[in-house]
Amino acid sequence: MNTWHKITRRIYRYSSDIINNREVRGWCFHRFKKNEPVKLSFYVDEQKLGEATADDLRTDLRAHNVHLTGRCGFQFNIPRSCNIGNYRKLVIKAGSEETSLFSLQVDQIPKIVEGPMPKVLFMHIPKTAGTSFNTFAESYLPKDKAITQVQTENKQKYPLFNASYYYVSGHLSLDALRENFDLNNFDLYTILREPYRHLHSHLNWVKAVVDAPDSGFAHEHPEVVQKMAMQIGTLDLSKPEILSEFVQNLGGFGLDFFDNCQTRYFLDHRPIKVTREHLENALTNLECFTDIGITEQYQAFTQRFCHRIGVAYCEQQAPLNKAKSENLFDLDKPGIRQALLPLVATDLLLYEHVRTRFCNDV
């Protein structure tokens, strides 16, 4: 990394969420002047396209304590008169002195779908790179034709999404999707993750709910989630005997939340505990899906997706500010996997089946 970029990274914190030939969306703030909105300038090569101020409200950044007020978001619409395909690169500059913040070669920028495309319904299983995939898919779609986090929307809007949207995504299991959407109108997609690593990530996410007890992130979750987070925070799960006791004593909400939760998304109903018999139901329901990716071969999944919707693939940009989390346990340590096995037993079988059936071209 060259000197100016090191300095820029120290001064500004930023991320570009959506970049395509129509718009740029993201967030940016000055690390040492967080209450002063940053003015951004946008260029193609040396030609200035316009400016935007990073002061839109981003409740997600406020809730996760990334920014105190959350007013650091921005959106810049690329002028319709500008065909960025005629240029080499898109450049974003920050501040009155226009410090170069970010640049991207134009041939790496997704182009919005112009004509008809298959309608996509994405079953977003948490902690599988689904958020990254939502961002990737949105980069190719008109912003008024895509909706993510649909589970947070009023169900009265579902008929509109069902009829008019190209891309619908949310934390809804297959039975809920069947209840609320006509699956005949959509190509159905999802992503699975290696079950042990998925469970570790899921546990880590719950623990983080109360890492900052006074944050918006903590208070936006139900009391039962906060209590589970506090319990996990008091345990040394790196010790196999403590981890095993935690797993064996799970019941109620904890069992529903952590027990083979990837398999649960594919079932016709949500059982108290997932058993081997439920696996057959999940495997049968794989027939509903156009494609299923795995996190460990995420790029191959995005390439297949682009091929199916008829757009040129552009490699997704890596997150500029990746969340950090601790290791609750070492999966290579003797006894750890055995302690966790009851919570991943059917997920392991489902994952292997999907990896073989959908991902054998990689």
Residue 9 is predicted with a pLDDT of 54
Q: Tell me, what's the pLDDT at 212?
A: 59
The edge-to-edge listing of strands for the beta sheet with 120-123 is 146-147, 167-170, 120-123, 187-192, 291-294
Residue 221 sits in the same domain as residue 328: yes
* Adjacent-strand bridge partners of 28: 14
What is the mean predicted confidence (pLDDT) over 47-73?
90
Question: Tens of pLDDT along 105-122?
Answer: 999 999 998 878 899 999
Tell me the mean pLDDT in the region 314-327. Answer: 66
Work out how many domains the chain is built from and give that number: 3
Of 199-213, 224-238, 244-258, give the lowest mean pLDDT range.
199-213
Lowest model confidence (mean pLDDT) among 78-82, 120-124, 127-131, 322-326: 322-326
Measuring CA to CA, which residue among 220, 228, 227, 221 is closest to residue 203? Answer: 228
Higher pLDDT, 220 or 192: 192
Using 50, 70 and 90 to split pLDDT, how confident is the model at 361?
Answer: low
Q: Does the pLDDT of residue 321 top 80, yes or no?
A: no
What does the alpha-carbon distance between residue 46 and residue 60 come to, in Å, rounded to a whole number? Answer: 34
The residue ranking higher by pLDDT, 213 or 41, is 41
Confidence of residue 43 (pLDDT cuts 50, 70, 90): very high
Q: Which two tokens stand for residue 128?
A: 């599988």
pLDDT surpasses 90 at 338: yes
Last residue of a domain, one of 108, 129, 163: 108
User: CATH code at 89?
Assistant: 2.60.40
Tell me: do 345 and 237 sit in the same domain: yes
Q: How far is CA 184 from CA 168, 209, 330, 358, in A?
A: 14, 38, 43, 21
- Rounded mean pLDDT, 208-214: 67
pLDDT at 292: 98
- The boundaries of the domain holding residue 36 are 3-108
Are both 188 and 200 inside the same structural domain?
Answer: no
Task: Give the mean model confidence (pLDDT) for residues 79-95.
Answer: 93
Q: Are residues 162 and 245 in the same domain?
A: no
Asked whether residue 314 is domain-assigned, the answer is no
Q: Is the pLDDT of residue 77 over 90?
A: yes
| Judgement on whether residues 275 and 210 belong to the same structural domain of the protein | yes
* Percent of the chain predicted with pLDDT > 70: 92
pLDDT tens by residue, 151-179: 999 999 999 999 999 999 999 999 999 99
Q: Which helix (H) or strand (E) holds 100?
A: strand 99-105
**Which position has the higher pLDDT, 145 or 212?**
145
318 pLDDT above the threshold of 90 = no
Report the pLDDT value the prediction gives residue 357, as an integer from 0 to 100.
92
337, pLDDT greater than 80: yes
- Asked whether residue 114 is domain-assigned, the answer is no
**pTM of the prediction?**
0.89
Say whether both 224 and 352 belong to one domain. yes
273 falls within a domain: yes
